[in-house]
Amino acid sequence: MKDLKELKKIEQYADQCMKCGFCSFFCPVYQEEKTETSVARGKNYLVKEILKGNQEFTKELGNIIGLCLLCKRCVAMCPAKTQIDRVVVGARAQMVNEKGLGAIKNFAFRKVMANRKAFGNYVKLAKSFQWLLPKTEGNIRHLPDFLKALGQGRNIPALADKFLREIVKPVYKPQNGEKPKMKVGYFMGCATDFMYPELGLKFIDFLTKRGIEVVVPESQSCCGAAMYFSGDFETGRLQAEKNIEAFKDVDYIVTACGTCSSTLKDYQKYLPETEDQKKRFEEFEKKVKDSMEFIVDIMKVKPEELTLKKEFEGKTATWHDPCHLVRYQNIKDQPRAILKGLKGLKYVEMPNADLCCGMGGSFSVYHYDITKKIAGKKMDGIKATGADIVVTACPGCMVNLTDNVLQNKMPQKVYHLLELVE
């Protein structure tokens, strides 16, 4: 008998499913594909077959468990409370144990992303070639046909002239010169670092204006989402240890990236190998706060006391719920409270606000056609609001929403909520 270590860990979750099939209604991928292998029930059944010894980790099985956005929409609605996200990630981890990562991911995760310096250097190298990409609008660049692997015709934000890591200081004292109310560690995340550095500076400014000391440890590394959601627990664990070490002397660890905050919090769920590790990961989780919950729940900032930036005066805004906020962290009321409370801004709720934008990290690289269809539904929701701006709090979603707004020739602009306020 093979050692099904990672699968054994999730067997209890897989057993929960009673095959009612309700997940099909909520699964963005099933709604496009209409096949049983694209939905939670089918994936869960196949994982159980592996556990019974009736199914091997074939290439096709790899494709099937790969075809999940991990958006957790089905999990939220499952009458049997099956945590299919854990089943899928567990199965991916088992597959990595048995079959390895594959050359591309192996290189990307272990040689590049796991090493902060290398990651920066590779992105820098990519940047020096980005003039090859035609510009769509502003600083959005258009991926031409020869880069099919990244999605045909895709628009991505240009890489910043200077990455956040190159301009950020290690310590920011409160702007009023007083003794800090608390000390937080800022976790930047790769999208903010390479594409939206001004967002990072904005967040730091927001915090220090309000009496908080911000430290930005140079030793912080990638959050690990891409790795451990792909089943590379080994590299994920490495990232977890690096980040926990980097942020050990702060009251809170804050980030303006929904994916990063939920990934940092979930180290304890997926990665511990020993009791000691589990304890440390759990301790770490308690200190991690997403920007939205930190501002509203911890800093207790009153939305009506915030000042809207001039350029947004009189505009209508709608909110997109990132999966990693609404379902991974139950953060949905905080951003709405801010948007509704901001004087001078009109808020409209979009239909299906909690529908995944279709990005799913590397999902969109492998299944860009499906990503586009799912995003199309998101766009329908945005159009129905008649809003001027789409606001969210996850740079991953921002990338995908921006791409699809442009592809659909819509007038809306996409912003991180922090960009709206002074």
22 contacts another protein (rule: CB under 8 A): yes
Based on CB atoms, which residue is closest to another protein, 35 or 175? 35
- Distances in Å between the Cα of 217 and the Cα atoms of 125, 173, 188, 303 are 24, 14, 10, 29
Q: 353-370 b/e with 16+ CB inside 10 Å = b?
A: bbbbbbbbebbbeebbeb
Based on CB atoms, which residue is closest to another protein, 19 or 279? 19
254 contacts another protein (rule: CB under 8 A): no
Based on CB atoms, which residue is closest to another protein, 61 or 123? 61
Residue from 42, 224, 335, 396 touching another protein (CB under 8 A): that is: 42
Instruction: Give, as ranges, the residues between 76 and 135 that touch another protein (CB under 8 A).
Output: 79-81
Residue from 7, 13, 29, 37 touching another protein (CB under 8 A): that is: 37
| Nearest distance in Å: CB 381, another protein | 14
Based on CB atoms, which residue is closest to another protein, 55 or 208? 55
| Nearest distance in Å: CB 403, another protein | 25
Q: Which tokens go with 290?
A: 């997403």
List, as one string, the DSSP characters of 70-100: ---HHHHH-TT---HHHHHHHHHHHHHHHH-
C-alpha 297, offset from chain centre: 21
369 contacts another protein (rule: CB under 8 A): no
| Nearest distance in Å: CB 88, another protein | 14
Based on CB atoms, which residue is closest to another protein, 61 or 257? 61
- Distances in Å between the Cα of 195 and the Cα atoms of 74, 131, 249 are 31, 15, 28
Q: Show Cβ contacts of residue 315 under 8 Å, excluding neighbours closer than 6 positions.
A: 345, 346, 388, 389
| Nearest distance in Å: CB 27, another protein | 10
Based on CB atoms, which residue is closest to another protein, 80 or 150? 80
Residue from 18, 126, 348, 410 touching another protein (CB under 8 A): that is: 18
Q: Show Cβ contacts of residue 95 under 8 Å, excluding neighbours closer than 6 positions.
A: 57, 61, 62, 65, 231
SS3 61: helix
Cβ-contact 141, 135 below 8 angstroms: yes
- Distances in Å between the Cα of 88 and the Cα atoms of 38, 41, 138, 377, 400 are 12, 11, 39, 25, 23
343 contacts another protein (rule: CB under 8 A): no
Q: Where do the H-state alpha helices sit in 294-409?
A: 323-326, 333-341, 363-366, 368-385, 395-407
Residue from 9, 11, 21, 180 touching another protein (CB under 8 A): that is: 21
| Nearest distance in Å: CB 275, another protein | 29
153 contacts another protein (rule: CB under 8 A): no
- What is the rounded CA–CA span in Å between residue 65 and residue 366? 13
Q: Which residue from 372, 319, 384 is spatially nearest to 143, judged by alpha carbons?
A: 372
Neighbours of 305 (CB within 10 A): 9
From residue 44 to residue 83, the character string flagging contacts with another protein as x (rule: CB under 8 A) and all else as - is: -xx--x----xx--x-xx--x--------------xxx--
345 contacts another protein (rule: CB under 8 A): no
Radius of gyration of the chain measured on its C-alpha atoms: 21
Pairing status of strand 171-172 against strand 155-157 = unpaired
Interface segment toward another protein; rule CB under 8 A; list 14-22, 162-170, 259-267, 376-384: 14-22
Based on CB atoms, which residue is closest to another protein, 81 or 279? 81
| Nearest distance in Å: CB 201, another protein | 44
| Nearest distance in Å: CB 25, another protein | 4
221 contacts another protein (rule: CB under 8 A): no
Residue from 2, 5, 8, 19 touching another protein (CB under 8 A): that is: 19
| Nearest distance in Å: CB 130, another protein | 35
307 contacts another protein (rule: CB under 8 A): no
Interface segment toward another protein; rule CB under 8 A; list 34-42, 93-101, 194-202, 326-334: 34-42
To 10 degrees, the CA torsion angle through 298, 299, 304, 305? 170
- What is the rounded CA–CA span in Å between residue 409 and residue 381? 15
| Nearest distance in Å: CB 64, another protein | 6
Binding site for another protein (CB under 8 A): 16, 18-22, 24-26, 34-37, 42, 45-46, 49, 54-55, 58, 60-61, 64, 79-81
